[in-house]
């Protein structure tokens, strides 16, 4: 029996459920368990949330790791490229740098969505070449990886959803004109 498609309406827009809150929570627990196994001997694990979108996923992941007894630090970095729904500029800039000294630490960058990949390639280069910043290791954990991205300068070690297509996704940190981040699942905006 095929699962019935779930559509929600908020204001003037409708959204199709891509990943339910329950399934999303289960997938986060699986990633937390993998990380706990991969970093069992790390004493300097840092989750580096890419704000704003990565905060929701990062917070859930951090709590799941804490529940497993994994000691870690949390920090943020803010990178700007998008100005609205799909309106991307060609300029990438870091508008807020990490506060922690990352050199010598195991860093997992936590991001909500890798779309084209330009922003994350920029961050990867920044982390690996900025004097006094260079971590012992850098891995990437993403909520959604869109398959249309440019060639990445790194591998994505942990991801929850591989998604092809131009659908605009919202929920769990992903937004549409700064709204809908607080949806507990992942939804596609219906035109």
Residue ranges per structural domain of the chain? 44-163
| The pLDDT of residue 147 | 73
- How far apart are the C-alpha atoms of 111 and 51, rounded to whole Å? 8
Q: Residues 65-79: what's their mean pLDDT?
A: 97
For residue 109, the model assigns a pLDDT of 98
Most confident listed range (24-38, 85-99, 167-181): 24-38
pLDDT digits (tens, 9 = 90+) for 105-126: 999 999 999 888 888 999 999 9
CATH tag, 44-163: 3.40.50.2020
Side-chain-side CA neighbours of 35 within 13 Å: the count stands at: 34
Q: How confident is the model at residue 4 (pLDDT cuts 50, 70, 90)?
A: confident
Task: Identify which of 133, 115, 145, 132 has the alpha carbon closest to the alpha carbon of residue 124.
Answer: 133
pTM: 0.91
What is the rounded CA–CA span in Å between residue 31 and residue 160?
8
CB count in 10 Å sphere of residue 25 = 14
Structure tokens at 150: 């440019």
């Amino acid at each position: 029996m095929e699962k019935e498609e779930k559509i929600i309406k908020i204001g003037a827009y409708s959204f199709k459920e891509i990943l339910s809150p329950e399934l999303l929570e289960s997938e986060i627990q699986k990633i937390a368990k993998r990380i706990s196994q991969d970093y069992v001997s790390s004493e300097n694990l840092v989750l580096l949330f890419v704000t704003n979108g990565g905060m929701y996923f990062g917070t859930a992941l951090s709590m799941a790791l804490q529940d497993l007894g994994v000691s870690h630090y949390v920090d943020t970095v803010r990178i700007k490229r998008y100005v609205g729904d799909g309106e991307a500029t060609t300029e990438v800039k870091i508008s807020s740098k990490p506060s922690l000294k990352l050199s010598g630490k195991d860093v997992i960058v936590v991001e909500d969505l890798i779309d084209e990949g330009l922003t994350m390639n920029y961050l990867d280069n920044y982390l690996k070449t900025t004097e006094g910043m260079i971590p012992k290791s850098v891995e990437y954990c993403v909520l959604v990886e869109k398959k249309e991205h440019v060639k990445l300068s790194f591998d994505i070690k942990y991801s929850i959803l591989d998604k092809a297509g131009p659908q605009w996704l919202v929920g769990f940190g992903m937004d549409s004109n700064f709204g809908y981040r607080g949806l507990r699942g992942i939804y596609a905006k219906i035109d």
